[in-house]
Structure 1
């Protein structure tokens, strides 16, 4: 029984040391890449270009409900 507890303790210590000092995972080491549809600056430029070319009308007042 004592050998089983020692084995569990050794595995636990090994895993903790691996997490603390092991290789860095790719998820935390690299910045998150956002697509153009998530980029507010891209959407702002796209909206500005559409308004200049006349593709979309200017936002106007909303009709009140009847």
Structure 2
């Protein structure tokens, strides 16, 4: 999971570094559009990963609750 986010961050940093103050607005907008594309792809993945983490937390919580009941 972390590799995906590191890769996206690297892409964003690379594209942001390509924005130069002496470029025309069209070139700047092209870089900004590419950054938004990466963020749009990442948004969906964030939701999927967040959902998976919540499910995992729920499973662990249930197991811990069962374990505590057995210990009593």
Higher helix share: 2
Report the structure number with the largest CA radius of gyration. 1
Which structure is higher in RCO with an 8 Å CA cutoff and minimum separation 6? 2
Q: TM-score, normalised by structure 1?
A: 0.39
